[in-house]
Amino acid sequence: MSKAVLLKDVSARTGCSSALVSAVLNGRTGRIRASEAMRKRIFKVADELGYVPNRNACGLRMSRSFLIGALAANLSSSFVPEILSGIEARCLHTNYGVLLGDYNNDDELLERWTSFQGRGVDGVICIGKPASFKQCILPSPDIKCVFVGGCVGDEECGGVWVDRASLLRLAAQAFAERGHRHIAYLTNYSPAECDVWRNALLSHGIVAGSIRTCHNFFEEGVAVATAILKEHPELTAFFADSDLLGTAVLAAARNCGKRVPEDLSVLGIDDSILCRISQPELASLRQPRREQGEKGAELLMQMLDGEPARNIVLQGELVCRASLAQAPENHSES
């Protein structure tokens, strides 16, 4: 039962007051100052004894918990862990700890939020965009909030996301450059948001082909993609809004006897492990997931230090693989 090392243990050994030790270790420059010699001694002793400040006491005194809540809808969905990992990594050398809040529906979101309040989290990072955001989260203005991975654009909240318009422009350009003119789009975004894709294609003089919404499930993706391919034999390219849907399109192509990439090019989003194990390998748009997490955590900490909320927009990039190739000659000009 090794007793924890306290501030007073350090001060006793150093031969000074605990107030001085506290000020020195926290790098406070104020009324309380230590001589250079004393500074060195304090650091040395603290290190020797292995002093670790008690966050409960700090938090109590400073009315801050140094806790950041991370709210994630469905921890199992591939991109969440990466963002989370970035958040955690960014907090590693700070005083902040990351409290986990995974939820599957609105009730659980609300419950987690309440529990976060009780813990007195200083701020919250929401991964993705909870639909019920306004009901659950805005009503408490004491807790700063940053959204990561879902564009929000709220005055009071910070945001970190990958610029969707430029991401889709990358996709449009990749297809256009390779001579594709008939391109289907499988997405789990709402139909209204598909205009971004339409515009991206239009800037290359291409009118968007079939656009279909579907949940981010493999089986559903296969079914929907198969239907599209049967209805539209003129298609030479397929853009899917996730790698999972991208692999679903590959499966659908097999179902329909279409060869990839000879007859059909396929592009996904995420550059996940799925791309490399799929057959053929799936081209994809890489989004810097981990970086989003890191940037989000950094932004929140800055906001907790009094800086205003802002938005950080990152860029994606194209990762070309076997599934993306030149459009077949006979179709490209039809």
Instruction: Considering the complex, state which of residue 10 and residue 222 has its C-beta at the smaller distance from DNA.
Output: 10
| Contact letters for its own copies, residues 269-308 (x by CB under 8 A) | ----xx-xxxx-----------------------------
The CA-to-CA distance between both ends of the chain, in Å, stands at 79
Which x/- pattern, by CB under 8 A, does the window 24-43 give for its own copies? --------------------
Instruction: Find the shortest distance in angstroms from Cβ 97 to DNA.
Output: 15
In angstroms, rounded to a whole number, what is the distance separating the alpha carbons of residues 101 and 291?
20
**Mode of pairing for the β-strands spanning 317-319 and 283-286:** antiparallel
The residue from 29, 35, 56, 334 that contacts its own copies (CB under 8 A) is 56
- Decide if 303 contacts 144 (C-beta within 8 A): yes
For residue 215, the partner it binds in DNA, its own copies, none, with Cβ less than 5 to 8 A by kind, is none
Q: How many residues bind its own copies (CB under 8 A)?
A: 57
Q: Taking CB within 5 to 8 Å according to partner kind, which of its own copies, DNA, none is near residue 80?
A: its own copies
Shortest CB 267 distance to its own copies, Å: 16
Exposure string of 158-171, with b = 16+ CB inside 10 Å and e = fewer, is bbbbbebeebbbbb
- What's the closest the beta carbon of residue 20 comes to DNA, in angstroms? 4
**Nearest-approach distance from CB 54 to DNA, in angstroms:** 4
Site for its own copies in 257-276 (CB under 8 A): 273-274, 276
C-beta closer to its own copies: residue 2 or 334: 2
Q: Is 126 in the site for its own copies (CB under 8 A)?
A: no
The entry of DNA, its own copies, none near residue 100 (CB within 5 to 8 angstroms by kind) is its own copies
> Of residues 103-122, which lie at the interface with its own copies (CB under 8 A)?
108, 111-112, 114-115, 117-120
Instruction: State the residues that interact with DNA by CB under 7 A.
Output: 4, 6-8, 15-20, 22-23, 25-26, 28, 30-38, 51, 53-54, 57-58, 60-63
Q: Where are the beta strands (DSSP E) in the chain?
A: 67-73, 97-103, 123-127, 144-148, 158-162, 183-187, 211-213, 237-240, 265-269, 283-286, 311-314, 317-319
User: What does 113 bind: its own copies, DNA, none (CB cut-off 5 to 8 Å by kind)?
Assistant: none
Quote the CA–CA distance of 288 and 244 in Å, as a whole number.
17
How far is Cα 119 from Cα 68, in angstroms, rounded to an integer?
A: 10
Tokens 């909320």 -> residue: 309
Q: How far is CA 269 from CA 150, 197, 288, in A?
A: 15, 13, 11
Q: Lay out the site mask for its own copies across 196-235 (x = CB under 8 A, - = otherwise).
A: ----------------------xx----------------
Burial of residue 45, with CB atoms counted within 10 A of its CB: 0-12 exposed, 13-18 middle, 19 or more buried: buried
Beta-bridged to residue 70, according to DSSP, are 100, 125
- 324 is written with which tokens? 């993306």
Q: How would you list the strands of the sheet with 317-319, edge to edge? A: 211-213, 183-187, 237-240, 265-269, 283-286, 317-319
User: Which residues bind to its own copies, rule: CB under 8 A?
Assistant: 1-2, 4, 52-57, 59-60, 65, 70, 74-76, 80-82, 84-85, 88-89, 92-93, 97-102, 108, 111-112, 114-115, 117-120, 139-142, 218-219, 244, 247-248, 251, 254, 273-274, 276-279
